[in-house]
Amino acid sequence: MRNPVLIFGANALGRAVHEVFESNDVIVYGYLDDDKKKHGQEINDVAVLGSTDDAGYLKFIGKKCEAFVAIDDNILRKSLVEMLNKKRKVMPVNALHNTAYIAESAHIGHGNFVNMGARIGNACKLGNHCIVNTNAVVDYEAELGDFIQLGAGSIINSGVRLDDEIFVGSGACIVSGVKIGKGARVGAGSVVIGDVKAGETVFGNPAQPIKS
């Protein structure tokens, strides 16, 4: 990637994404954030230029720079991705740390954040706009949908199927062959040994549904 990048989100995730781009010698052009108190501030010598709907900066995306959405709230993340798709006809680029391992046979979509030490194994499928935190492991032939978040040190074993918008907490383990439905949540440190329904929250070892 030759073009500089605009990061949507002047927050902790945005700073982590900034470091990932720097690890690959990609220039960060600036940040866009809707918190006006941050405008004009600098993060690692890079300015917060304006809001996420600032047409003056959006016009450069797809021509002179790329975009990355560094927002961990899926509703806001999805709305910004849709805006970039419609207004600029672009998809956010990937932010893949240079210490992450991604097998050559793995398929990686768009707009994903893969942090340091993460491993994506043989013949895996990683959808779009996922957040894969430090040292997370996705083993061979696992399939992950869009807008998924994997906590630090989580393990997604071989053949696991994760639908869209799933959250897996830090240190959790999903055993081989398990299927997890859309929007489900897995608590930190949990061990999931059976399928999880869409929208369900599970926790524990072995993981059990939590009743609201």
- Enumerate the domain spans of the chain: 5-93, 96-203
Identify each DSSP E strand in 27-148 by its residue range: 28-32, 42-43, 46-50, 66-69, 95-96, 101-102, 107-108, 113-114, 119-120, 125-126, 131-132, 137-138, 143-144
pTM metric for this prediction: 0.94
Give the pLDDT confidence score for residue 61 in this predicted structure.
Answer: 95
26 within 8 A of 4, measured Cβ to Cβ = yes
Q: What is the pLDDT of residues 98-148, one digit of tens each?
A: 999 999 999 999 999 999 999 999 999 999 999 999 999 999 999 999 999
User: How does DSSP classify residue 125?
Assistant: E
Band the pLDDT of 6: cuts 50, 70, 90.
very high
Q: Is the pLDDT of residue 182 over 70?
A: yes
Q: What is the pLDDT of residues 7-26, one digit of tens each?
A: 999 999 999 999 999 999 99
Contacts of 183 (CB under 8 A, 6+ apart): 163, 164, 165, 166, 198, 199
The CATH number assigned to the domain with range 96-203 reads 2.160.10.10
- CA-wise closest residue to 17 among 115, 120, 155: 115
Give the pLDDT confidence score for residue 2 in this predicted structure.
Answer: 76
Q: What is the pLDDT of residues 51-101, one digit of tens each?
A: 999 999 999 999 899 999 999 999 999 999 999 999 999 999 999 999 999
Alpha-carbon gap, residue 170 to 189, rounded angstroms: 6
Give the pLDDT confidence score for residue 31 in this predicted structure.
Answer: 98
The CATH number assigned to the domain with range 5-93 reads 3.40.50.20
User: Peptide bond preceding 206: is omega within 30 degrees of 0, i.e. cis?
Assistant: yes
Supply the mean pLDDT for the chain.
96
Q: Is the pLDDT of residue 212 over 70?
A: no
The CA-atom distances, in angstroms, between 122 and each of 142, 189, 197 are: 9, 25, 27
Same fold? 5-93, 96-203: no
Give the pLDDT confidence score for residue 211 in this predicted structure.
Answer: 80
